[in-house]
Amino acid sequence: MQIEKSAYAFRLDGNPIACEVFGHGHINHTLKLTTDTGSEYILQKINTYVFHDPVRLMANVGSVTDFLRRKVDDPRLALHYISTYDDKYYHVDENGEYWRAYDFVGGFCLDTPESDEDFYQSALAFGRFQQLLADFPAETLYETIPEFHNTIDRYRQFKESVAADPLGRAAGVQEEIDFLLEREELGATLQKMREENLLPLRVTHNDTKLNNVLLDRITRKSLCVLDLDTVMPGLSLYDFGDSIRFGAATAAEDEQDTSKMALDLHLFEVYTRGYLEAATSLTQREIAMLPMGAIVMTLELATRFLKDYLDGDLYFKTQYPEHNLVRARTQIRLVADMQEKMEEMNRIVAQVSSQVREK
């Protein structure tokens, strides 16, 4: 087994003896590193196609994790980045690639919830994350991916790719393109409210998929939130919405049989309860907009996946040629189902929020 050379740049406990590819992330190259003292680390190469400014990214990640670590009593509740021998949280190798290392947390991640409790635990984790950072000076964070959840801008980029159509793929997916274009105004809802200052700007995670939460192997309680690359100032609705899109769905994000994809209202309720129990500082307007957050985030991902398919699969890692198209179709199906279930989502949010308040 070959040990990645960059490992030696970090102040590890012991000498590396094992190094293997790890996890199911879509963006970074993730390795698990073990040393001769039994210490375990994650060693990651940052994807600089996605993150153009890894130095600022690591400044965000470093300041947020340092802040969280001062607030939690169990070290597994916040990630711990390892400094290099020149006292940075990142290392640049001879090819100009950026690496970072952090403690491996002895837990596990799920791609789909195996029980209501798993999903509830992830809601608590993201809700806690929101709450713990409520007094973090959000303005000191960099916008590492500008306009990341600006769905108005996402639509602009999507339409550019439809027009450019570099691989001649647009004609084959006209139905999907039309579905998305018909919902452009719906997709703009949150961004408009953000621009009108109707919703508070918060420190948000911005990529709140279930597989970015670590669960304890024995108790299955949530430990920390992972994948802090997209931590930026944003709306709580991005975080809530993306969790629902990914975790309260009846099928995987890339299920090929779209008829299997729907919103599971029971899981929606489970997540809403956990999130509201932990994130106690949300405003009434934020709470009322939670269902809209789920729809807008799903719509946004549909446009992103379809754009990437049209562009020739440059952004998201794919396992087969139509992978991004499959993902886009599945998201489209979910948007349609969520729209049908909007009233029920509203009813659930109102009910759960009054129950949580009474507690």
28 is an interface residue for ligand ADP by CB under 6 A = yes
From the list 7, 12, 42, 295, which residue makes contact with ligand ADP (rule: CB under 6 A)?
A: 42
What one-letter code names the amino acid at 86?
A: D
Window of 47-55, 68-76, 121-129, 222-230 that interacts with Mg ion by CB under 5 A: 222-230
Q: Pick between residue 194 and residue 327 the one whose CB is nearest to ligand GN1.
A: 327
Residues 231, 138: Cα–Cα separation, whole Å: 10
Q: How far is the CB of 27 from Mg ion (least distance, A)?
A: 7
Touching ligand ADP, residues 111-170 (CB under 6 A) = none
Cβ-contact 234, 201 below 8 angstroms: yes
Footprint on this chain of ligand GN1 (rule: CB under 6 A): 25-27, 50, 207, 209, 212, 227, 229-230, 253, 301
From the list 67, 104, 142, 315, which residue makes contact with ligand ADP (rule: CB under 6 A)?
A: 104
69 is an interface residue for ligand ADP by CB under 6 A = no
25 is an interface residue for Mg ion by CB under 5 A = yes
From the list 227, 229, 239, 242, which residue makes contact with Mg ion (rule: CB under 5 A)?
A: 227
From the list 84, 189, 212, 324, which residue makes contact with ligand ADP (rule: CB under 6 A)?
A: 212
Decide which of Mg ion, ligand GN1, ligand ADP, none touches 231; Cβ closer than 5 to 8 Å per partner kind.
none
223 is an interface residue for ligand ADP by CB under 6 A = no
Decide which of ligand ADP, ligand GN1, Mg ion, none touches 273; Cβ closer than 5 to 8 Å per partner kind.
none
Residues 119, 116: Cα–Cα separation, whole Å: 5
Cβ-contact 180, 215 below 8 angstroms: no
Encoded tokens for 92? 């640049």
Residues that bind ligand ADP (CB under 6 A): 22-28, 30, 42, 79, 102, 104-105, 109, 211-212, 214, 226-227, 229
